[in-house]
Amino acid sequence: MTIPEQIKGFLEGHRSDCFCDDCIQEQLKLARRQEVAPVTKTLGLTLGFQRDHGVCVLCSHPRTKLVIRAI
């Protein structure tokens, strides 16, 4: 399974939950965050996904971060 397929599947499996790129990388055990960012940026432009500033459900960073979710 490709990295984009893994990320898409992860987000669809956790529909409505917002995740930052760092936590997606950690959850999927990917080597680098740079593998995640281009995929989430592209998915954020497609129907069924929303990418905006918000709070990640995993790290709950005290300030808002760029997060993505499947809708």
The residues pairing with 19 across neighbouring beta strands, listed in sequence order, are: 68
Q: How many domains does the structure of the chain reveal?
A: 1
Span 20-38, pLDDT tens digits? 999 999 999 999 888 999 9
**Which domain, by its residues, includes 62?**
3-70
Q: How far apart are CA 51 and CA 21, in angstroms?
A: 11
For the whole prediction, is pTM greater than 0.75?
yes
Q: Phi/psi of residue 54, each to 5°?
A: -175, -160
CATH number at residue 7: 1.10.10
Span 38-61, pLDDT tens digits? 999 999 999 999 999 999 999 987
Query: Across the beta sheet with 65-70, what order do the strands follow?
Result: 19-20, 65-70, 49-54
Q: Phi/psi of residue 9, each to 5°?
A: -65, -40
